[in-house]
Structure formats: structure tokens, C-alpha cells
Amino acid sequence: MHADVRTIYVFCPQKRDDEKETLDKLLKDKNPEKIESIVYQVLKQRHFEETVQLAAQYEREKELTISEKISAVTSTRQEAKETLLAEQRKDMMEVVSNVMSLSNADLSKKKLELKKQHKKQLTEFDKATQESIDKTTNKPNPEKELQYNSQVLALRERQIKELAQVISVYSPEQALVKSYEIEAERAAVEAERFRKDIIESRVKKFAVLKEERRQKEEARKKEREAKLRELEAEIEHEKTRDVQRQEQLSERYQVMQEQRIAQQEAIHKRALDGNAGISEQERQVRTNTYI
């Protein structure tokens, strides 16, 4: 034999001690051809339990994440619902405040219509809330799934290595040990490839998010520039209107001035016409009167 099998085990020492005792009994003076099958059968149960525990842990974490997201959505929607209810109460109070200007029949009709409207709003709101919750519940979590798949591959790699190490303790057949070592190496390569895929996936995802942020920022920039141009055009238009108003006021003032001068000239002309044929003394009196 090579090393003591107990030096291979790190976790669950009691189970591994039990496995060691079982293997010592089953493999004592056994045909080497049966070693692989016996080792596999003894370790299989614990390996299966480890796989199940990892899957159960993944499901618990997934449910916890979903629960936290649902709680966040519910809290946000509840706040929005309180705001909606406050607005509905305000609407009803406004209707009731008009009691003096409405007949009892009209008031009852308006209250009934408003209640129906409010009920429809709440129904639509609750429907939208449930849709948000369903969307959160059914939304996949690629990060968690990638992490779990990586853990599954790492566990498989460790279990194959463990089989190879345990077989090497009991089997003189190096070819058999070598086959498991090769399988363990394959599992390690597969796990490493998957880890690289995860990294590449995250890098690509980051690049996509970065590009999306750039596009959104570019869109916001264009929107700001468009609003700025719109505001500048509005200001320019307002300036033009001010100039036009000033010109109109100036023209109106000029017309008024001309009308006033014309009126004064007409009055003066009538005064002159009225002074014709009268004495100098009377003309002087009329002139002084107009003045």
C-alpha cells in the first residue's frame, strides 16, 4: 500500500474513518480487478450527498435572492400605493367640498363615479405589482448559475481526484490509477475552461454594459443638447417678439403723435378761420382763450 487513506480526507472525518474501515474489510485479500468497483461503491454515497448538498445550497441561495428582490419590489410598490390612496382621498374630499354647489343626486353620482374610478386604479395597480413580482421571480440570475456550475465542476474534479487517490492506496495496478488521474486531469481542465468562460462572459457582459451606458449617456447628451437648442430658439423667438412689440409700440406712439399734432393743427386752423373778419381786439381775446 501507499499512504494511509485517512490522509486523503479533509472534511467529514467520521464518515471518512467509516469509509476507511469499510474499504479495509472489503478489500482485504480481494481480487485487484474488483478494487475499482468497491472503492466507487463505498465513496459513491458520500459523493452523491455532497452533490445534493451543493444543489440544495444553490436553491436556498436562489430562493433567498428572489425573496429579497420580492421584498424590495413589494416595499417600493406599497409606498407607491400609499401615495395613490392619498391622492384618491384628496379627490374625494374635493368632490365633497363642492356639496353646496351640487344637488344631493349630483353629489351621489359624482361620488359613485369617483369610487368606480378609484377601484379601477387600484385593480390596475395591484395587477402591475403582481406582474413586477412575477417578473422578479422568473428572472434568471446568470451570475448565480455560473457560480453554481463552476462549483459543480470543482466538486466533480475533487471527487475524481479522491477516487484516484483512494484506489492508489489499495490497488497495485498503476494503469487503473493512471486512468483515474487522467480523468481527474480532464475534469480539472474542464473546470478551468469553465472558469475562463465565466471570466470571458463577465468581461463581455461588462463590455456590453459599458457600451449600453455609453449609448445612454450619448442619448442623454443629445437630449440635453436638443433641449438647449430648443431653449435657445425659444429665447431667440422671445427676443424677436420683444423687438416686434417695441416696434409696434413705437409705431403706435408715432401714429398717436401724428394724430395729436394733426388735431392741434386742425384746432389752430379752425381758430384762424374763426378770427377772419373780426377786430384785432376780439382776435386777441380768442387767441388768448385757446391758449
Question: pLDDT tens across 119-154, in order?
Answer: 999 999 999 999 988 888 887 777 788 788 888 888
Question: Residue 68: pLDDT above 80?
Answer: yes
End-to-end CA distance of the chain: 142
Q: Give the model confidence (pLDDT) of 102-125 as tens digits.
A: 677 877 888 888 899 999 999 999
Question: Residue 228 carries which side chain, given as an amino acid letter?
Answer: L
- Contact assessment for residue 164 and residue 180, using Cβ atoms and an 8 Å cutoff: yes
- Contact assessment for residue 168 and residue 2, using Cβ atoms and an 8 Å cutoff: yes
Cell of 138: 422568473
Question: Interhelix angle for 35-97 vs 13-26, to 10°?
Answer: 150
Q: How many residues does the chain have?
A: 291
Lowest mean pLDDT among 80-84, 136-140, 147-151, 200-204: 200-204
Per-residue model confidence (pLDDT) at position 284 = 60
Q: What pTM, to 2 d.p., does this model score?
A: 0.50
Q: Could you tell me which residues come within 8 angstroms of residue 152 by beta carbon, excluding any fewer than 6 positions away? A: 51, 54
